[in-house]
Structure 1
Amino acid sequence: MTSIILGVLYSCGGETLPKPKAMLRLSYPSPKYEKALLDCSYSFEKNSSASFQKARNKKACWYNLEYPQLKATIYLSYYDIDKNLDSLLRDAQNLTQEHFIKADAIQPKDFVYPEKKVYGRIYEVTGNAASSCQFYLTDSVQHFVSGSVYFKVKPNYDSILPAAKYLRNDVIHFMETVQWKE
Protein backbone atom coordinates (compact mmCIF):
# COMPACT_ATOMS: atom_id res chain seq x y z
CA MET A 1 0.00 0.00 0.00
CA THR A 2 2.81 2.42 0.84
CA SER A 3 4.44 1.71 -2.50
CA ILE A 4 1.23 2.77 -4.26
CA ILE A 5 1.06 6.03 -2.28
CA LEU A 6 4.76 6.73 -2.95
CA GLY A 7 4.28 5.96 -6.65
CA VAL A 8 1.36 8.41 -6.89
CA LEU A 9 3.31 11.16 -5.07
CA TYR A 10 6.36 10.78 -7.33
CA SER A 11 4.31 10.72 -10.52
CA CYS A 12 2.69 14.06 -9.66
CA GLY A 13 6.00 15.78 -9.07
CA GLY A 14 6.18 17.68 -12.43
CA GLU A 15 4.77 21.15 -12.74
CA THR A 16 1.70 21.41 -14.99
CA LEU A 17 2.11 24.12 -17.61
CA PRO A 18 -0.58 25.41 -19.97
CA LYS A 19 -0.06 24.87 -23.66
CA PRO A 20 1.08 27.98 -25.53
CA LYS A 21 -1.52 29.69 -27.68
CA ALA A 22 -1.34 28.53 -31.25
CA MET A 23 -2.08 30.66 -34.27
CA LEU A 24 -3.84 29.24 -37.30
CA ARG A 25 -1.56 29.57 -40.27
CA LEU A 26 -3.41 30.27 -43.48
CA SER A 27 -1.47 30.57 -46.68
CA TYR A 28 -2.75 31.51 -50.08
CA PRO A 29 -1.11 31.15 -53.48
CA SER A 30 0.91 34.08 -54.75
CA PRO A 31 -1.40 36.07 -57.00
CA LYS A 32 -0.97 35.82 -60.74
CA TYR A 33 -2.74 38.61 -62.55
CA GLU A 34 -4.36 38.53 -65.97
CA LYS A 35 -6.33 41.05 -67.96
CA ALA A 36 -10.06 40.79 -67.31
CA LEU A 37 -11.87 40.49 -70.61
CA LEU A 38 -15.14 42.36 -70.48
CA ASP A 39 -17.20 44.49 -72.81
CA CYS A 40 -17.33 47.61 -70.64
CA SER A 41 -15.95 51.13 -70.54
CA TYR A 42 -13.02 50.06 -68.40
CA SER A 43 -10.49 47.26 -68.11
CA PHE A 44 -8.28 45.96 -65.32
CA GLU A 45 -6.15 43.05 -64.18
CA LYS A 46 -7.65 40.40 -61.91
CA ASN A 47 -6.21 37.58 -59.85
CA SER A 48 -6.31 34.38 -61.92
CA SER A 49 -7.61 32.44 -58.90
CA ALA A 50 -10.81 34.56 -58.96
CA SER A 51 -13.64 33.55 -61.23
CA PHE A 52 -15.31 36.36 -63.11
CA GLN A 53 -19.13 36.39 -62.97
CA LYS A 54 -21.66 38.77 -64.43
CA ALA A 55 -23.84 40.06 -61.58
CA ARG A 56 -27.36 38.62 -61.76
CA ASN A 57 -30.23 41.00 -62.48
CA LYS A 58 -27.89 43.97 -62.53
CA LYS A 59 -26.82 46.61 -64.96
CA ALA A 60 -24.66 45.93 -67.99
CA CYS A 61 -21.22 46.31 -66.42
CA TRP A 62 -21.72 44.98 -62.90
CA TYR A 63 -19.45 42.01 -62.15
CA ASN A 64 -18.43 39.80 -59.26
CA LEU A 65 -14.98 38.39 -58.65
CA GLU A 66 -15.58 35.12 -56.79
CA TYR A 67 -12.86 33.63 -54.57
CA PRO A 68 -14.11 30.12 -53.71
CA GLN A 69 -11.04 29.22 -51.61
CA LEU A 70 -11.57 32.32 -49.45
CA LYS A 71 -15.38 32.15 -49.51
CA ALA A 72 -15.39 35.79 -50.57
CA THR A 73 -16.58 38.04 -53.38
CA ILE A 74 -15.49 41.42 -54.70
CA TYR A 75 -18.57 43.18 -56.10
CA LEU A 76 -17.93 45.72 -58.90
CA SER A 77 -20.48 48.28 -60.07
CA TYR A 78 -19.95 50.60 -63.04
CA TYR A 79 -21.85 53.84 -63.66
CA ASP A 80 -21.71 56.38 -66.46
CA ILE A 81 -21.35 59.86 -65.01
CA ASP A 82 -24.18 62.06 -66.22
CA LYS A 83 -23.80 65.22 -64.12
CA ASN A 84 -24.24 63.00 -61.05
CA LEU A 85 -20.67 62.59 -59.80
CA ASP A 86 -21.56 64.23 -56.46
CA SER A 87 -24.37 61.75 -55.79
CA LEU A 88 -22.22 58.76 -56.86
CA LEU A 89 -19.44 59.85 -54.48
CA ARG A 90 -21.93 60.47 -51.69
CA ASP A 91 -23.54 57.04 -52.20
CA ALA A 92 -20.16 55.28 -52.17
CA GLN A 93 -19.10 57.09 -49.00
CA ASN A 94 -22.48 56.49 -47.30
CA LEU A 95 -22.25 52.76 -48.02
CA THR A 96 -18.93 52.72 -46.17
CA GLN A 97 -20.35 54.73 -43.27
CA GLU A 98 -23.07 52.09 -42.77
CA HIS A 99 -20.31 49.79 -41.47
CA PHE A 100 -19.41 52.15 -38.58
CA ILE A 101 -21.87 50.31 -36.31
CA LYS A 102 -19.80 47.10 -36.28
CA ALA A 103 -16.40 48.47 -37.33
CA ASP A 104 -13.60 49.23 -34.92
CA ALA A 105 -12.08 51.64 -37.42
CA ILE A 106 -12.34 52.70 -41.06
CA GLN A 107 -9.08 53.84 -42.65
CA PRO A 108 -9.35 55.73 -45.96
CA LYS A 109 -6.52 55.93 -48.48
CA ASP A 110 -6.67 58.10 -51.60
CA PHE A 111 -5.52 56.89 -55.02
CA VAL A 112 -4.51 59.54 -57.52
CA TYR A 113 -3.09 58.68 -60.95
CA PRO A 114 -3.50 61.86 -63.01
CA GLU A 115 -1.53 60.43 -65.96
CA LYS A 116 -4.19 57.69 -66.29
CA LYS A 117 -7.10 59.92 -65.19
CA VAL A 118 -7.83 57.58 -62.29
CA TYR A 119 -8.87 59.01 -58.93
CA GLY A 120 -10.34 57.11 -56.05
CA ARG A 121 -10.37 56.01 -52.46
CA ILE A 122 -10.15 52.71 -50.63
CA TYR A 123 -11.56 52.18 -47.14
CA GLU A 124 -10.06 49.42 -45.01
CA VAL A 125 -12.66 48.37 -42.44
CA THR A 126 -11.39 46.71 -39.26
CA GLY A 127 -13.63 44.92 -36.82
CA ASN A 128 -16.61 42.62 -37.27
CA ALA A 129 -18.24 44.62 -40.07
CA ALA A 130 -19.95 42.88 -42.99
CA SER A 131 -17.45 44.27 -45.53
CA SER A 132 -13.70 44.42 -44.93
CA CYS A 133 -12.98 46.79 -47.80
CA GLN A 134 -14.90 49.40 -49.84
CA PHE A 135 -13.55 51.46 -52.73
CA TYR A 136 -14.38 53.63 -55.70
CA LEU A 137 -12.60 54.97 -58.79
CA THR A 138 -13.50 57.66 -61.30
CA ASP A 139 -12.08 59.81 -64.06
CA SER A 140 -14.33 62.63 -62.74
CA VAL A 141 -15.94 63.11 -66.16
CA GLN A 142 -17.42 59.95 -67.63
CA HIS A 143 -16.64 56.79 -65.59
CA PHE A 144 -17.31 55.66 -62.01
CA VAL A 145 -16.62 52.20 -60.51
CA SER A 146 -17.42 51.25 -56.94
CA GLY A 147 -16.66 48.00 -55.21
CA SER A 148 -16.81 46.10 -51.97
CA VAL A 149 -15.42 42.91 -50.45
CA TYR A 150 -17.76 40.53 -48.64
CA PHE A 151 -17.19 37.12 -47.09
CA LYS A 152 -19.78 34.35 -47.12
CA VAL A 153 -19.31 33.76 -43.40
CA LYS A 154 -20.35 35.55 -40.24
CA PRO A 155 -17.90 38.44 -39.79
CA ASN A 156 -15.22 37.61 -37.23
CA TYR A 157 -12.33 39.95 -37.90
CA ASP A 158 -9.65 37.81 -36.25
CA SER A 159 -10.61 34.79 -38.35
CA ILE A 160 -10.89 36.54 -41.72
CA LEU A 161 -7.91 38.89 -41.30
CA PRO A 162 -5.44 36.89 -43.47
CA ALA A 163 -8.02 36.54 -46.26
CA ALA A 164 -9.05 40.21 -45.90
CA LYS A 165 -5.43 41.32 -46.34
CA TYR A 166 -5.03 39.06 -49.38
CA LEU A 167 -8.17 40.53 -50.99
CA ARG A 168 -7.21 44.10 -50.08
CA ASN A 169 -3.99 43.58 -52.07
CA ASP A 170 -6.08 42.38 -55.03
CA VAL A 171 -8.30 45.46 -54.73
CA ILE A 172 -5.25 47.71 -54.71
CA HIS A 173 -3.92 45.92 -57.82
CA PHE A 174 -7.33 46.41 -59.45
CA MET A 175 -7.20 50.13 -58.65
CA GLU A 176 -3.66 50.46 -59.98
CA THR A 177 -4.44 48.70 -63.27
CA VAL A 178 -7.81 50.24 -64.18
CA GLN A 179 -7.85 51.84 -67.61
CA TRP A 180 -10.76 53.78 -69.05
CA LYS A 181 -11.89 53.11 -72.60
CA GLU A 182 -12.86 56.09 -74.72
Structure 2
Amino acid sequence: MSKKIISGLSIVFLLVVTISCKKDPIPKPASQLRLDYPVAKYANFSNHCPFEFEMNEEAVIKEDKNCGFMIQYPKMKATIYLNYKTVDNNLNDLLKDAQTLTYKHVIKADDILEQPYINKEKKVYGMFYRVDGNAATNSLFYATDSIKHFVTGSIYFYAKPNFDSIMPAASYVKNDMQRIIETLKWK
Protein backbone atom coordinates (compact mmCIF):
# COMPACT_ATOMS: atom_id res chain seq x y z
CA MET A 1 0.00 0.00 0.00
CA SER A 2 1.14 3.43 -0.64
CA LYS A 3 2.04 5.84 2.10
CA LYS A 4 -0.74 8.21 1.00
CA ILE A 5 -3.42 5.56 1.46
CA ILE A 6 -2.03 4.51 4.86
CA SER A 7 -1.81 8.13 5.90
CA GLY A 8 -5.40 8.77 4.73
CA LEU A 9 -6.68 5.68 6.54
CA SER A 10 -4.84 6.73 9.68
CA ILE A 11 -6.53 10.14 9.60
CA VAL A 12 -9.96 8.57 9.02
CA PHE A 13 -9.33 6.09 11.86
CA LEU A 14 -8.30 8.88 14.24
CA LEU A 15 -11.38 10.93 13.29
CA VAL A 16 -13.70 7.96 13.84
CA VAL A 17 -12.12 7.16 17.21
CA THR A 18 -12.21 10.82 18.28
CA ILE A 19 -15.82 11.36 17.25
CA SER A 20 -17.09 8.05 18.64
CA CYS A 21 -15.45 8.39 22.06
CA LYS A 22 -18.08 10.69 23.53
CA LYS A 23 -20.05 9.86 26.63
CA ASP A 24 -23.28 8.00 26.11
CA PRO A 25 -26.22 10.38 25.82
CA ILE A 26 -28.35 10.51 28.92
CA PRO A 27 -31.97 11.57 28.48
CA LYS A 28 -33.10 14.47 30.65
CA PRO A 29 -35.70 13.54 33.24
CA ALA A 30 -39.21 14.83 32.74
CA SER A 31 -39.71 18.13 34.50
CA GLN A 32 -42.56 20.40 35.42
CA LEU A 33 -42.86 24.09 36.11
CA ARG A 34 -42.44 24.64 39.82
CA LEU A 35 -44.53 27.38 41.33
CA ASP A 36 -44.22 27.80 45.06
CA TYR A 37 -46.80 29.87 46.84
CA PRO A 38 -46.59 30.79 50.50
CA VAL A 39 -48.63 28.83 52.99
CA ALA A 40 -51.87 30.73 53.39
CA LYS A 41 -52.33 32.68 56.62
CA TYR A 42 -55.81 33.99 57.22
CA ALA A 43 -57.04 37.04 59.10
CA ASN A 44 -60.56 38.19 59.83
CA PHE A 45 -61.84 41.02 57.62
CA SER A 46 -64.59 43.21 58.98
CA ASN A 47 -65.74 46.74 58.20
CA HIS A 48 -69.04 48.64 58.01
CA CYS A 49 -70.64 46.02 55.70
CA PRO A 50 -73.21 43.56 57.11
CA PHE A 51 -70.89 40.55 56.82
CA GLU A 52 -67.35 39.51 57.67
CA PHE A 53 -65.03 36.71 56.61
CA GLU A 54 -61.44 35.47 56.74
CA MET A 55 -59.08 36.22 53.88
CA ASN A 56 -55.51 35.41 52.94
CA GLU A 57 -53.02 37.91 54.37
CA GLU A 58 -51.10 37.82 51.05
CA ALA A 59 -54.08 39.28 49.19
CA VAL A 60 -54.91 42.97 48.84
CA ILE A 61 -58.53 43.95 49.39
CA LYS A 62 -60.22 46.96 47.82
CA GLU A 63 -63.78 47.97 48.55
CA ASP A 64 -66.03 48.68 45.62
CA LYS A 65 -69.50 50.18 45.79
CA ASN A 66 -72.35 48.72 47.87
CA CYS A 67 -70.13 46.43 50.00
CA GLY A 68 -68.57 44.74 47.01
CA PHE A 69 -64.89 43.82 47.21
CA MET A 70 -61.98 42.98 44.95
CA ILE A 71 -59.52 40.67 46.67
CA GLN A 72 -56.41 40.85 44.50
CA TYR A 73 -53.46 38.49 44.21
CA PRO A 74 -50.86 40.58 42.34
CA LYS A 75 -48.24 37.78 42.11
CA MET A 76 -50.77 35.44 40.50
CA LYS A 77 -52.61 38.09 38.48
CA ALA A 78 -55.91 36.96 39.97
CA THR A 79 -58.86 38.64 41.66
CA ILE A 80 -61.76 37.35 43.71
CA TYR A 81 -64.80 39.56 43.16
CA LEU A 82 -67.33 39.64 46.00
CA ASN A 83 -70.72 41.27 45.50
CA TYR A 84 -73.32 41.95 48.15
CA LYS A 85 -77.05 42.42 47.66
CA THR A 86 -79.86 42.88 50.12
CA VAL A 87 -82.61 40.29 49.99
CA ASP A 88 -85.93 42.11 49.64
CA ASN A 89 -88.52 39.58 48.45
CA ASN A 90 -86.18 38.86 45.53
CA LEU A 91 -84.30 35.76 46.72
CA ASN A 92 -85.44 33.67 43.75
CA ASP A 93 -84.20 36.33 41.31
CA LEU A 94 -80.84 36.56 43.10
CA LEU A 95 -80.44 32.77 43.05
CA LYS A 96 -81.39 32.62 39.38
CA ASP A 97 -78.86 35.37 38.50
CA ALA A 98 -76.07 33.59 40.41
CA GLN A 99 -76.82 30.27 38.73
CA THR A 100 -77.12 31.89 35.29
CA LEU A 101 -73.70 33.53 35.71
CA THR A 102 -72.20 30.16 36.60
CA TYR A 103 -73.74 28.26 33.72
CA LYS A 104 -72.71 30.89 31.14
CA HIS A 105 -69.28 29.22 31.43
CA VAL A 106 -70.64 25.86 30.28
CA ILE A 107 -69.58 26.64 26.69
CA LYS A 108 -65.86 26.53 27.56
CA ALA A 109 -66.05 24.37 30.68
CA ASP A 110 -65.35 20.65 30.67
CA ASP A 111 -67.41 20.19 33.81
CA ILE A 112 -69.15 22.23 36.52
CA LEU A 113 -69.26 20.60 39.94
CA GLU A 114 -71.75 21.87 42.52
CA GLN A 115 -70.95 21.65 46.20
CA PRO A 116 -73.80 22.76 48.51
CA TYR A 117 -72.77 24.66 51.61
CA ILE A 118 -74.92 24.71 54.77
CA ASN A 119 -73.97 26.17 58.13
CA LYS A 120 -77.12 26.27 60.26
CA GLU A 121 -75.27 27.74 63.25
CA LYS A 122 -74.16 30.83 61.28
CA LYS A 123 -77.25 30.78 59.04
CA VAL A 124 -75.14 30.64 55.89
CA TYR A 125 -76.55 28.62 52.99
CA GLY A 126 -75.12 28.51 49.53
CA MET A 127 -73.45 26.73 46.66
CA PHE A 128 -69.79 26.49 45.66
CA TYR A 129 -69.12 25.81 41.98
CA ARG A 130 -65.87 24.39 40.63
CA VAL A 131 -65.53 24.95 36.89
CA ASP A 132 -63.08 22.63 35.11
CA GLY A 133 -61.65 23.53 31.71
CA ASN A 134 -60.68 26.71 29.90
CA ALA A 135 -63.52 28.88 31.20
CA ALA A 136 -63.00 32.50 32.25
CA THR A 137 -63.41 31.57 35.92
CA ASN A 138 -62.69 28.32 37.70
CA SER A 139 -64.67 28.90 40.91
CA LEU A 140 -67.83 30.74 41.91
CA PHE A 141 -70.12 30.75 44.90
CA TYR A 142 -73.19 32.32 46.38
CA ALA A 143 -74.18 32.48 50.04
CA THR A 144 -77.29 33.78 51.76
CA ASP A 145 -79.17 33.74 55.03
CA SER A 146 -82.39 33.59 52.95
CA ILE A 147 -83.80 36.64 54.75
CA LYS A 148 -81.57 39.73 54.41
CA HIS A 149 -78.17 38.98 52.89
CA PHE A 150 -76.86 37.60 49.59
CA VAL A 151 -73.15 37.41 48.61
CA THR A 152 -71.65 36.11 45.38
CA GLY A 153 -68.00 35.45 44.63
CA SER A 154 -66.00 34.59 41.53
CA ILE A 155 -62.34 34.27 40.56
CA TYR A 156 -60.85 35.79 37.43
CA PHE A 157 -57.27 35.67 36.14
CA TYR A 158 -55.70 38.37 33.98
CA ALA A 159 -54.60 35.83 31.40
CA LYS A 160 -56.11 33.92 28.52
CA PRO A 161 -57.97 30.95 29.99
CA ASN A 162 -55.64 27.97 29.74
CA PHE A 163 -56.39 25.79 32.72
CA ASP A 164 -53.19 23.72 32.47
CA SER A 165 -51.06 26.86 32.77
CA ILE A 166 -52.88 28.52 35.64
CA MET A 167 -53.85 25.38 37.55
CA PRO A 168 -51.46 25.86 40.53
CA ALA A 169 -52.54 29.48 41.03
CA ALA A 170 -56.19 28.62 40.40
CA SER A 171 -56.08 25.90 43.04
CA TYR A 172 -54.44 28.25 45.57
CA VAL A 173 -57.01 31.02 45.04
CA LYS A 174 -59.91 28.52 44.95
CA ASN A 175 -58.90 27.34 48.43
CA ASP A 176 -58.96 30.95 49.62
CA MET A 177 -62.42 31.43 48.16
CA GLN A 178 -63.64 28.29 49.93
CA ARG A 179 -62.23 29.77 53.15
CA ILE A 180 -64.29 32.92 52.55
CA ILE A 181 -67.58 31.04 52.28
CA GLU A 182 -66.70 28.77 55.23
CA THR A 183 -65.92 31.73 57.52
CA LEU A 184 -68.67 34.06 56.31
CA LYS A 185 -70.70 35.57 59.19
CA TRP A 186 -73.63 37.97 59.06
CA LYS A 187 -73.65 40.97 61.40
Equivalent positions of 1:119-134 (< 5 A) are 119-134=125-140
Q: Tell me, what secondary structure is at the counterpart of 1:75? A: strand
Aligned equivalents of 1:144 and 1:90: distance in 2? 12
Structure 2 segments unaligned to the other structure (5+ residues): 1-10
2:81 is matched with: 75
Taking only aligned residues, the RMSD between alpha carbons, in angstroms, comes to 1.4
Please point out which of 138, 142, 145 is paired with 2:151: 145
- How far apart are residue 113 of structure 1 and its match? 0.4
- Aligned equivalents of 1:101, 1:20: Cα separation in 2: 37
- Which ranges of structure 1 fall in alignment gaps of 5 or more residues? none
Shift in Å at residue 54 of structure 1?
A: 1.6
1:8 aligns with 2:19: yes
2:8 is matched with none
Larger Rg: 2
Which of the residues 89, 93, 101 maps onto 2:99?
93
* Percent identity between the two aligned chains: 47
- Report deviation, 1:10: 3.7
TM-score by length of 2: 0.89
* Structure 1 runs, 4 residues or longer, greater than 3 Å off: none
**Does residue 64 of structure 1 match 2:75?**
no
Is the aligned partner of 1:118 residue 2:129?
no
Which deviations, in whole Å up to 9, do the C-alpha atoms of 1:55-98 show, x marking residues without a partner? Answer: 2xxx3111110111111000000000011111111111111111
Q: In structure 2, what is the Cα distance between the partners aligned to 1:77 and 1:69?
A: 23
| In the alignment, structure 1 residue 155 sits paired with structure 2 residue 166 | no
Displacement of 1:33 in angstroms is 1.1
Give the aligned partner of residue 43 of structure 1: 52
* Count of residue pairs the alignment pairs up: 176
**TM-score, with structure 1 as normaliser:** 0.91
Q: CA deviation at 1:17?
A: 5.1
